[in-house]
């Protein structure tokens, strides 16, 4: 069986493939950059310490340390690398997102669309990479038949999820080319300070903020998604949720959030639980109590399977 470092290397290679997700871009692997999902200068730099932010280790080794041993120590990552993926060429990363990188956030319909498209592009890219990494896990299963059932479920979920994301991506790409931005509902929250955490993701909430089940994640074809971004601009923090107008489940999810008095705390817990594309301030993390740090660790790693990482 391969050493875990070899496994990790094989997986990482799939997440370093270069392509541009701008519709009809001809730069298949040319001039592809590390595109930020959270802006570096306005957002990441504002919570950094010596040019670094913190994030949980989502590599094979990091997940294994938590699942098997309960070890959870966030790692430092430079702001040039944090929240990046190889999903756009330099030309289109600049031109496409200029309305949310260079302009004041209102937000306009176009800005909501672009924030959503960026989280969608990253999710589509990472899901594709995960599917392409499936052969790595198949090799492990040949020597560890006890994880075969888990892998079958995982692979089925990944392939179904990728199929759904591709459908969403193609729909957004068509609307982007037509400049049809009026397809989304949104909730925009302004915070009069720089948030200590920043994140961006497109996800499928299965519970509301009272822990009531709202949708079955196994029904992939009918799942409703929400895009979720926390960022800052000019020293002000912002939280943006966006979803399709016809998504009644997500609308009820947002309505449930707004019934709570401690909305920001609820959103922080949600962010750690539902997206791995999250970074946070070193100073903020170090001020948290050990109990709070442990709670956030469990939220971040809760979905990983013990049997897969066990060496027994």
Q: What is the mean pLDDT of residues 93-112?
A: 96
DSSP for residue 207: B
- Predicted local distance difference test score (pLDDT) of residue 306: 38
- SS3 label, residue 97: coil
Alpha-carbon distance of 206 to 215, in angstroms, equals 5
pLDDT > 90 fraction of the chain, expressed in percent and rounded: 69
- Predicted local distance difference test score (pLDDT) of residue 155: 74
Residue 139: both structure tokens together: 């090799």
Q: 236 - beta bridge partners?
A: 233
Residue 64: pLDDT band (50, 70, 90) is confident
Q: What is the mean pLDDT of residues 5-33?
A: 80
Q: Dihedral through CA 256, CA 100, CA 87, CA 244, nearest 10?
A: 30
Q: Which residue has the higher pLDDT, 306 or 271?
A: 271
Q: How many CA atoms lie within 13 A of 168 on its CB side?
A: 32
For 283-306, what is each residue's pLDDT tens digit?
A: 999 999 999 998 998 888 876 543
Alpha-carbon distance of 309 to 312, in angstroms, equals 9
pLDDT > 70 fraction of the chain, expressed in percent and rounded: 87
Residue 71 has pLDDT above 80, yes or no: no
Element (H, E) at 85: strand 84-89
Element (H, E) at 57: none
Q: Which residue has the higher pLDDT, 37 or 13?
A: 37
Q: What is the mean pLDDT of residues 48-63?
A: 86
- Predicted local distance difference test score (pLDDT) of residue 308: 39
- Predicted local distance difference test score (pLDDT) of residue 152: 73
Phi, psi of 132 (to 5 degrees): -65, -20
- SS3 label, residue 195: coil
Mean per-residue pLDDT of the chain: 88
Residue 166 belongs to domain spanning: 4-309
Domains contained in the chain, number: 1
- Predicted local distance difference test score (pLDDT) of residue 304: 52
Highest mean pLDDT among 2-6, 133-137, 247-251, 308-312: 247-251
Which of 57-61, 105-109, 222-226, 256-260 is the least confident region? 57-61
Q: Give CA angle at 127 (308, 227), nearest 5°.
A: 115
- Predicted local distance difference test score (pLDDT) of residue 62: 72
Per DSSP bridges, beta strands 226-233 and 197-203 are antiparallel
- Predicted local distance difference test score (pLDDT) of residue 312: 44
Residue 4 has pLDDT above 90, yes or no: no
Residue 264 has pLDDT above 50, yes or no: yes
């Amino acid at each position: 069986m391969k050493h875990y470092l070899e496994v990790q290397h094989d997986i990482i290679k799939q997440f370093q493939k270069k392509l541009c997700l701008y519709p009809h871009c001809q730069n298949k692997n040319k001039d592809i950059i590390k595109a930020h999902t959270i802006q570096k200068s306005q957002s990441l730099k504002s919570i950094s310490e010596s040019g670094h932010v913190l994030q949980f280790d989502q590599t094979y080794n990091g997940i294994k340390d938590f699942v098997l041993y309960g070890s959870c120590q966030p790692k430092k990552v430079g702001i040039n690398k944090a929240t990046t993926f190889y999903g756009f060429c330099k030309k289109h990363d600049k031109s496409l997102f200029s309305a949310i990188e260079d302009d004041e956030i209102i937000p306009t319909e176009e800005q909501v669309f672009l924030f959503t498209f960026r989280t969608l592009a990253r999710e589509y890219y990472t899901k594709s990479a995960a599917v392409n990494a499936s052969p790595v896990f198949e090799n492990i299963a040949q020597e560890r038949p006890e994880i075969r059932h888990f892998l079958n479920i995982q692979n089925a979920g990944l392939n179904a999820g990728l199929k759904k994301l591709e459908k969403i991506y193609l729909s957004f790409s068509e609307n982007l080319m037509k400049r049809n931005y009026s397809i989304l509902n949104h909730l925009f929250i302004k915070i009069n300070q720089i948030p200590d955490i920043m994140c961006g993701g497109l996800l499928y909430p299965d519970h509301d903020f009272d822990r009531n089940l709202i949708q079955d994640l196994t029904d992939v074809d009918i799942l409703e998604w929400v895009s979720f971004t926390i960022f800052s601009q000019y020293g002000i923090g912002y939280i943006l949720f966006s979803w399709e107008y016809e998504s009644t489940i997500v609308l009820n999810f947002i309505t449930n959030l707004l019934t709570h008095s401690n909305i920001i705390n609820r959103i922080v817990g949600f962010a750690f639980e539902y997206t791995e594309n999250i970074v946070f301030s070193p100073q903020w993390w170090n001020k948290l109590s050990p109990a709070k740090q442990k709670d956030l660790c469990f939220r971040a790693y809760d979905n990983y399977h013990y049997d897969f990482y066990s060496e027994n």
